[in-house]
Amino acid sequence: MIKTIPTKPYTDQKPGTSGLRKKVPVFQQEHYAENFIQSIFDALDGFEGKTLVIGGDGRFYNREVIQKAIAIAAGNGFGKVMVGQGGILSTPAASNIIRKYKTFGGIILSASHNPGGPHEDFGIKYNAGNGGPAPEKITDAIFAKSKEIKSFKIADIGEIDIDTIGTVKAGDMTVEIFDPVKDYAELMESLFDFEALRKLFKSGFRMRFDAMHAVTGPYAKEILERRLGAPDGTCRNFKPLPDFGGHHPDPNLVHAKHLYDEMMGPDAPDFGAASDGDGDRNLIIGRGIFVTPSDSVAMLAANAKLAPGYKDGLKGIARSMPTSGAADRVAEKLGIGIYETPTGWKFFGNLLDAGMATICGEESAGTGSNHVREKDGLWAVLLWLNILAARGESCKDIVTKHWATYGRNYYSRHDYEEVESDRANALVDELRAKLGSLAGTSVRGLKIAKADDFAYHDPVDGSVSKNQGIRILFEGGSRVVLRLSGTGTSGATLRVYIERYEPDKARHDLDTQEALADLIAAADDIAGIKSHTGRNKPSVIT
């Protein structure tokens, strides 16, 4: 029943920040997905007879690749696969299943917040037995295998019915189709005060959750409306669609503008939130106030003790380097560790496994904790709700009081998307070349204290990751960070992160872009952003 099919390597199967992401037609090339899945298995050892979790965010091509993954897992000798019903499994829910059932690992099919459809994006990512994205030594090994692959092994098991819950045999392998929501909902119930949340909704508290036609719809419906009694209609766009209804399932101020407008309008509910394609990102907007992801992680950490799952306090906080320093001030006050990692959730894995960090966050709308090994959109929403219920204050009050206590980190990210790769690389190369001479010079009246290319020394395994983003640190604590995105699928995306710390309470309600205007201009002077990219403004400002 097991066939060995000859194949030729593709040269471009290098996993990025978060797995292999390409346009659907790339994945549809002959044996493209098969090659990558086989390369994952070729890079791993000791899975014979063990269990593999498989699921995805429901995007176009999900169901086809799930069938391939099941058959190749059977061909390679896995004992069992656990597949989310309908092929659905949010990224954090997949992480939970891997951990809860102590499986060997999992394959998650998603391109996160990128659009879906026949000409849009698809992705394959491997998560290890700790539930987290494979560390670089595994992704490097997968890439190496993909360049030398000669054949893949596939079992002739026909099409598996992935829509009916139950267990079937596929050759020598067992296939279990399970409810993708149940275990996750139970996990959330174990962390948060569901009784208090039920009371909150009963008292008339109103929220909007926009699932953006992506994977969190069924999770949010079950948890918010069924278990917590939020009124019908609290969840919007809750049916996962292969093309996400033609939208970008990216919960930011551009793609969830309708939610932002509603939350700023006269009839705004108390609280608004959204999640992305695969359910790991979050957008938090209180009535009349948007909470930046960098602020959100700081505020969640400062108040985490109010939720039962974190009542004993936090071990430490970790944030990616480009994320603002707001969380650092909370960690300092709590007297706990703060860790600065490169962009990519995988870098938090060791800190979480070693019990050094409890809550982690990234400027890219990812927040999570040690409950799983992925960032978790609904988790962040539920922790916010738990804090709102416990404090009995509005989101806006909590945010402004936080700034008054800790100071405000004005923060913005400017993205230049689909820049020609050569031009983007030239910008970075030129900037790198002059890093050594920047310290001590002044630009637009701002004195540069230090400029470097961020390197991370993992305190747990001692590994070093270099060239993780260029930092220009100004005297007084302001900074500009520049790096190229590792998740794009066409051309290069230049990200410019701008931050200014403002301790003065009287200056906490400025417009963010105005508060950062001199730094934005300085960044262009230093890096020649306009001349290199040929653009006179960013494609997206968040």
Measured from the Cβ of residue 517, the count of other Cβ atoms closer than 10 Å reads 13
Say which entry of Zn ion, ligand G6P, none residue 487 contacts (CB below 5 to 8 A, set by partner kind): ligand G6P
How far is 498 from 410, CA to CA, in rounded Å? 8
Among 180, 240, 316, 344, binds ligand G6P (CB under 6 A): 344
- In single-letter form, the type of residue at position 290 comes to F
Q: Which helix (H) or strand (E) holds 259?
A: helix 257-264
Q: Kindly tell me which of 287 and 373 has the beta carbon lying closer to ligand G6P.
A: 373
Contact string (CB under 6 A) for ligand G6P, positions 365-394, x = contact: -x----------------------------
CB 69 within 8 A of CB 155: no
278 binding ligand G6P? (CB under 6 A): no
The amino acid at residue 243 is D
H/E stretch holding 295 reads helix 293-303
Q: Which does 278 bind (CB under 5 to 8 A by kind): ligand G6P, Zn ion, none?
A: Zn ion
How far, in Å, CA of 25 to CA of 117, rounded?
A: 10
Residues of this chain, 85-124, that bind ligand G6P according to CB under 6 A: 112
Site membership for ligand G6P, residue 362 (CB under 6 A): yes
User: Judged by CB under 5 A, how many residues of this single chain contact Zn ion?
Assistant: 5
Tokens of 287: 């009535």
Tell me how many degrees the CA angle 123-126-132 measures, rounded to the nearest 5: 115
The site string for Zn ion over 279-298 (x = CB under 5 A, - otherwise) reads -xx-----------------
First to last CA, the chain: 52
According to the binding rule CB under 6 A, does residue 28 interact with ligand G6P?
Answer: no
Q: How far is the CB of 379 from ligand G6P (least distance, A)?
A: 15
486 contacts ligand G6P (rule: CB under 6 A)? yes
Instruction: Verify binding: residue 216, ligand G6P, rule CB under 6 A.
Output: no
Q: Does 413 bind ligand G6P (CB under 6 A)?
A: no
By CB under 5 A, tell whether 278 contacts Zn ion.
yes
Amino acid at 517: A
Q: Which stretch binds ligand G6P (CB under 6 A): 337-345, 384-392, 430-438, 466-474?
A: 337-345
Of 122-130, 213-221, 304-312, 480-488: span binding ligand G6P (CB under 6 A) = 480-488
Is residue 17 involved in binding ligand G6P (CB under 6 A)? yes
Q: What is the dihedral of CA 524, 527, 530, 533, to 10 degrees?
A: -150
In the shown chain, the binding pattern of residues 491 to 530 toward ligand G6P, with x for contact by CB under 6 A and - for none, equals: ----x-----------------------------------
309 in contact with ligand G6P (CB under 6 A): no
CB of 15 to ligand G6P, least distance (A): 12
Buried b (16+ CB within 10 A) or exposed e, 32-56: bbbbbbbbbbbbbeebeebbbbbbb
Question: Rounded CA gap, 417 and 496, in Å?
Answer: 11
Instruction: Quickly count: other Cβ atoms within 10 Å of residue 158's Cβ.
Output: 10
Asked if residues 328 and 454 have their Cβ atoms less than 8 Å apart, the reply is no
Judged by CB under 5 A, does residue 222 bind Zn ion? Answer: no
Per CB under 5 A, the list member of 76, 90, 112, 341 interacting with Zn ion is: 112
Q: What are residue 450's DSSP bridge partners?
A: 473
Query: Shortest approach of ligand G6P to residue 112 CB, angstroms?
Result: 5
**Pairwise CA distance, residues 471 & 481, whole Å:** 5
Residue 153 β-bridge partners: 4
Q: Is 139 in the site for ligand G6P (CB under 6 A)?
A: no
Extract the tokens encoding 424. Answer: 């983007």
Residue with Cβ nearer Zn ion (262 or 278): 278
How many Å separate Cα 82 from the centre of its chain?
A: 23
Contacts of 538 by beta carbon, 8 Å cutoff, 6+ apart: 414, 415, 416, 496
CB 504: neighbour CB atoms within 10 A?
Answer: 8
Q: Residue 362 Cβ, how far from ligand G6P at the closest point, in Å?
A: 4
272 binds, among ligand G6P, Zn ion, none (CB under 5 to 8 A by kind): none
DSSP symbols for 495-518: EEEEEEEE--GGGSSS-HHHHTHH
Work out whether 57 is an interface residue with ligand G6P (CB under 6 A): no
Among 225, 276, 363, 374, binds Zn ion (CB under 5 A): 276
Q: Which residues are catalytic?
A: 112
For Zn ion, the closer CB: 120 or 280: 280
Give me the least distance between CB of 341 and Zn ion, in Å please.
Answer: 18
Least distance between Zn ion and beta carbon 372 (Å): 13
* Binding positions for Zn ion, rule: CB under 5 A: 112, 276, 278, 280-281
Per CB under 6 A, residues contacting ligand G6P are 17-18, 112, 320, 343-345, 362, 364, 366, 485-487, 495
